[in-house]
Amino acid sequence: IWFLRVSVLLCLLSLSFAGVYVGAVFQAFTPEHRCRDPAAAERAERCGWSPAESRRLTPPAANGTGEPRSGCLRYDRDWNQVDCRDLEPEPSGTPITACQGGWEYDYQGRTSVVTEFHLVCGDAWLVDWFQSTLNIGFLISSFVFGYIADRFGRKICILVANAGTVASSLALAAVSSYPPILLLRTLLGFSAKGSWMTGYVMITEMVGVSHRRAAGMVYQLFFSLGLLVLSLLAFLIPDWRWLHAVSSAPYAFFLLYYWLTPESPRWLLSQNKMAEAVTLIHAVAKENKRKLGNTFQVLRKTWSKKLPSLITLRYCLHVNATFRT
C-alpha cells in the first residue's frame, strides 16, 4: 500500500514532464505561411477573388513554376492597376521582393511562438533556440540537482525544483518578447529536469536491486502516457501560452510533495540519520500492516552503538520486503 501510494505520486512527475520536454512540438510549430500584402488583400476583396485565387496570385512559386508557393517572397506590383480578370499566376517581368508587411498563416485561431513573433524566413533559425535553451537547462540541472539531492535530501530537492518550475512557467506564459522567453525556457528545463530526475532516483531507491529495472520502466511508462495527455491538450487548447500554462499546472500540486512523500530510506541511511530511518520504516510497516523481523531489531541496536559499515547497509536492504504491498 505504502509503495503503491508513493509510486503513483512520483510517477505523476514523469507524466507532467512530458509536457515540458515535448511541448515545443505544439508550442513552436511552423504553419504554412505567406507574405501579407494589404494592397493585394484589398484588391482581392474588391474583385471577389477566392482565398485560393489570392494565394495563387500574390506569392511567386518557390521553384519558379508550379507549387509550392513561396512563403518569404511576394510580387512587387501595383495591385490597383491589376484587372480583376487578370488571373495569370506568374506575371512575366514582375519584380519580386521580400515580405515587408508581415505574414499570414494557415491554421487560423491556433497560435505558436512562430506566429506570435513571426519566426519565419530570415528569423526561422530562432525557433531552434526554443528547444535548445530547454536542453541547456537539462544539462546544467543534471549536475546541480544531483549534488542537491545527495547533499540535502531528495525531498528538499523536489521542493526546490518544483518551485522553480512553477515560477518559470508562470513567467513564461506572461512575458511578451522572445529573448526573455528563451531565458525562462532555460530555467524551466533546469527546474523540471531536476524534479523528474529526483523522482526517478526516489522510486528506484524504494525497491530492491532486482526490482529497480521494473520500477524505472513504470516511471518511464508514465512519461509515454504524458505524451498522450499532451496531444489531447494541444487538440483542445489552440493558444500556445494557455497550452503551456495548463500542461505545467500540475507542478503547483507537486509543491505539496514535501509533505506527501517520505524521504528516501536509503538516503537517510547513507547520511547516518538512523533515528529518522527507523521511524520511517516503522511507519511503512504500520501502513502495510507488517511486522518487523528480528533482523531489523538487531540492526537497530547496532546503529545505536556505532556507524553502520557498508556490509551493514547492504544487509539492511533486505528490509525492502517491508515496503511491498
CB atoms within 10 A of CB 38: 10
Cα distance between residue 43 and residue 224, in whole Å:
50
Residues 265-287 have pLDDT tens digits of 888 888 888 788 778 877 777 77
pLDDT score at 27: 93
Contact 120, 103 (CB under 8 A): yes
- Helix (H, G, I), strand (E, B), or coil: what is residue 98? strand
Residues 141-177 have pLDDT tens digits of 999 998 999 899 999 999 999 999 999 999 999 998 9
What is the CATH code of the structural domain delimited by 2-29+124-252? 1.20.1250.20
Peptide bond into 68 cis (omega under 30): yes
Q: Tell me how far CA of residue 280 lies from CA of 58, 158, 287, 288, 301, in angstroms.
A: 71, 19, 11, 12, 16
The average confidence (pLDDT) of the chain is 80
Helix-strand-coil split of the chain, %, nearest 5: 65, 5, 30
- C-alpha gyration radius of the chain: 29
Characterise 36 by phi-psi region: left (phi > 0), alpha (psi -120 to 50), beta (else): beta
Contact 26, 112 (CB under 8 A): yes
| Grid cell digits, residue 260 | 506527501
pLDDT score at 168: 95
Which H helix or E strand runs over 142? helix 125-152
Contact 134, 217 (CB under 8 A): no
pLDDT score at 191: 96
The candidate with the shortest Cα–Cα distance to 40, out of 99, 92, 123, is 99
pLDDT score at 277: 78
Residues 168-226 have pLDDT tens digits of 999 999 998 999 999 999 999 999 999 999 999 999 988 878 888 998 999 999 999 99
Q: Which residues pair with 33 in a beta bridge?
A: 105
The candidate with the shortest Cα–Cα distance to 90, out of 109, 69, 72, 115, is 69
Cα distance between residue 194 and residue 175, in whole Å:
24
Percent of the chain with pLDDT strictly greater than 70:
71
- Helix (H, G, I), strand (E, B), or coil: what is residue 145? helix
Contact 15, 247 (CB under 8 A): no
Q: Tell me how far CA of residue 257 lies from CA of 17, 98, 171, 305, in angstroms.
A: 15, 53, 22, 33
CB atoms within 10 A of CB 241: 17
What's this model's pTM, rounded to 2 decimal places? 0.79
Residues of each domain in the chain carrying CATH 1.20.1250.20: 2-29+124-252
The candidate with the shortest Cα–Cα distance to 300, out of 282, 264, 274, 276, is 274
Residues 55-97 have pLDDT tens digits of 666 665 555 555 556 677 766 666 666 666 665 655 556 667 7
